[in-house]
Homo-oligomer: A and B are copies of this chain.
């Protein structure tokens, strides 16, 4: 009985395992939830309960949804000929917040990794190839992270689609908006210099 009741201790231990938290943050979060009036913890618990019960992966694209097929895949206003391939649902959300893409997505759920024994099947790449063949896709945008793993995976998919006549593109690399050269890594600066454009 150091950290209050057993339930409180168990809650802290569970929260401490969440990404970005740790034992200290978990203790602060739980204390704040207990202290706040207005039943905030009960509200959070009820929402979690509902999300846990209703969330599943879209059978078409892998997005998280409460239906068989997600709202993006069923939106008639979105172009069906462009598929944007992302590593993770968080990346899909980031692109949607930017509001710059109006086609459909495909969520891989990771990257190829020999070390972790993650192969093309584990990422649904065969399903992606099938989908591209079936749906008359004109462009596949490989919006994978600019990491070694992301780019290895992008090259694997690009190779698999070679000769299909489909445009395979990737996100431009360069200096982020508002980015200061002094704070950027050398790789980004080199890539931005190589891809320089007339202004």
Contacts and interface: CB of A to CB of B under 8 A. Distances in A.
A10 B55 contact: no
Given A31-B90, A90-B28, A97-B2, A45 B42 contact: no
Interface string A1-34: 1111101101100110011110001011111111
Contacts of A20: 20-21, 25, 28-29
A46 to B, nearest CB: 7
A68 interface: no
A66 B5 contact: yes
A151 interface: no
Contacts of A1: 71-72
A4 B48 contact: no
Question: How many copies make up the complex?
Answer: 2
Interface in A33-75: 33-34, 39-55, 63-66, 71-72
Chain A interface residue bracket vs B: 35 or more
Given A3-B93, A93-B4, A31 B88 contact: yes
A96 interface: yes
B21 A28 contact: no
A55 B14 CA distance: 18
B34 A55 contact: yes
Interface of A: 1-5, 7-8, 10-11, 14-15, 18-21, 25, 27-34, 39-55, 63-66, 71-72, 88-90, 93, 96-97
Given A20-B21, A33-B51, A49-B49, 13 more contacts: A3-B93, A4-B55, A4-B63, A5-B64, A7-B66, A8-B64, A14-B40, A14-B43, A18-B29, A18-B32, A19-B28, A27-B90, A31-B88
